[in-house]
Amino acid sequence: MAKLLQEYQIGHTFGIATAEYHERRARIIAQLEKNGQKGIVFFRALSIFWLSGFGFIPTERPVAFVLKTDGSTALLVPRLEVEHGQSHAYVDRIESYPEYPTTTHPMLYLQKLLGEMGLANSGLAADGDGYGAYWGYRGPKLSEVCAEATVSLYPRLIEEMRFTKSRAEIELIKESCKWGNLAHMLLQKYSRDGASEIDVSTRASSEATNAMLLTLGPTFKPGGMGRVGASAGFRGQIGKNSYFPHAVTLNATMRKGDVLVTGAGANVCGYVSELERTMFVGEPSAEQTKYFELMCQAQEVAFDTIKPGVPTATVDREVRRFFEENQLMPYWRHHVGHAIGMEGHEAPFFDIGDETILEPGMVWTVEPGIYVEGLGGFRHSDTVLITENGMEFLTYYPRHLEAMICG
């Protein structure tokens, strides 16, 4: 067993290579040069992580990443993040300010840094006109502290670059699916009449995370900015409460006949996946079976529609047509799905209001749901990859009714 684990660890390297960070920055630089800007400032924590590998806890203390068109980079951090940045951020230089709010506002330290980089009075871009309102932060706008510069805002620049995933990103999402699958298997194993929602979720998540860390070994560095490891749970969607698509945990006790709507995944170097299933405590009733099968059919309609070149709106439109033809619209609550990668929900969306064209390399959740008051909710969610010819399942947990019975 030890030898097998060692071979697995040697053969698997997780994370984003420095060459990919260079490629990401090059794409941004090309956009800046096209628009006549000399540099850009990023305040959003996820964007900073995507560009530098520096994952941190966003607080009232602003952090900024600066990229010039000559490829040079700088990171402004509070004093308490200096050593952290030096150890984990892939940047050319790190500057700091003492604390927030202190006597000199951090944005004035950013003004000084931009001046030293020759950006304070030139064409400057940013993902926002200043730091966001985290945890009580208050401060001047970037355009105010750099009044001599023309500041152009690109709030969705990186979001749109993240629509399609690289090979390395896809491999991280696949790894996430693997451990989400294990967490869900354990969740189902422990779900039975009389079981506690929180106890089952905690046990399954802990065991799956321990297995994940044991298998990947001490060289695996979780990275990212969210929960570490694998997780599975119900988020309160137990029994009649599963009728609420986004319920919250209520410390419910499972009872025979309950519908269970689950969720599982894992954070692997900042990348996540989504696996959801509709399960039953004991044999489902005829009515529960009816809506379960209709939900599965709706998901199949989405799968059959998904292929490169198709507008995302078309997927949602076809599933809504299925709902209408089967008199299910009273039980409809949300669109078919969303992109996923570094965040649980990412743009674009399988929604009639989104005409984004599907492209190879995009990763999506597919999760049409049916919600019947007094009976429960019915929703599977699978993570899929758009390929050159269609789509590939990244999640692989069973979907059929017989496999969804617990206890």
Q: Per-domain residue ranges for the chain? A: 18-161, 167-406
Residue 126 bridge partners (DSSP): 41, 153
CATH topology classification for 18-161: Creatine Amidinohydrolase; Chain A, domain 1 (3.40.350)
How many residues does this entry show for the chain? Answer: 407
Ramachandran angles phi, psi of 279, nearest 5°: -120, 170
Contact 404, 278 (CB under 8 A): yes
- pLDDT tens for the chain, 407 residues: list them: 344 334 334 345 578 999 999 999 999 999 999 999 999 999 999 999 999 999 999 999 999 999 999 999 999 999 999 999 999 999 999 999 999 999 999 999 999 999 999 999 889 999 999 998 889 999 999 999 999 999 999 999 999 999 999 999 999 999 999 999 999 999 999 999 999 999 999 999 999 999 999 999 888 888 777 678 999 999 999 999 999 999 999 899 999 999 999 999 999 999 999 999 999 999 999 999 999 999 999 999 999 999 999 999 999 999 999 999 999 999 999 999 999 999 999 999 999 999 999 999 999 999 999 999 999 999 999 999 999 999 999 999 999 999 999 98
Residue 38 bridge partners (DSSP): none
Give the right CATH number for 167-406 from 3.30.70.20, 3.90.230.10, 3.40.630.40, 3.90.1150.10.
Answer: 3.90.230.10
Supply the pTM of this predicted model: 0.94
In three-state secondary structure terms, 284 is coil
Dist. CA 362–CA 341, nearest whole Å:
9
- For residue 273, give the nearest of 365, 386, 162 by alpha carbon: 365
- For the record, the structure tokens of 340 come out as 């996923």
DSSP for 136-183 reads T-----HHHHTTTSEEEE-TTHHHHHTTB--HHHHHHHHHHHHHHHHH
Contact 324, 347 (CB under 8 A): no
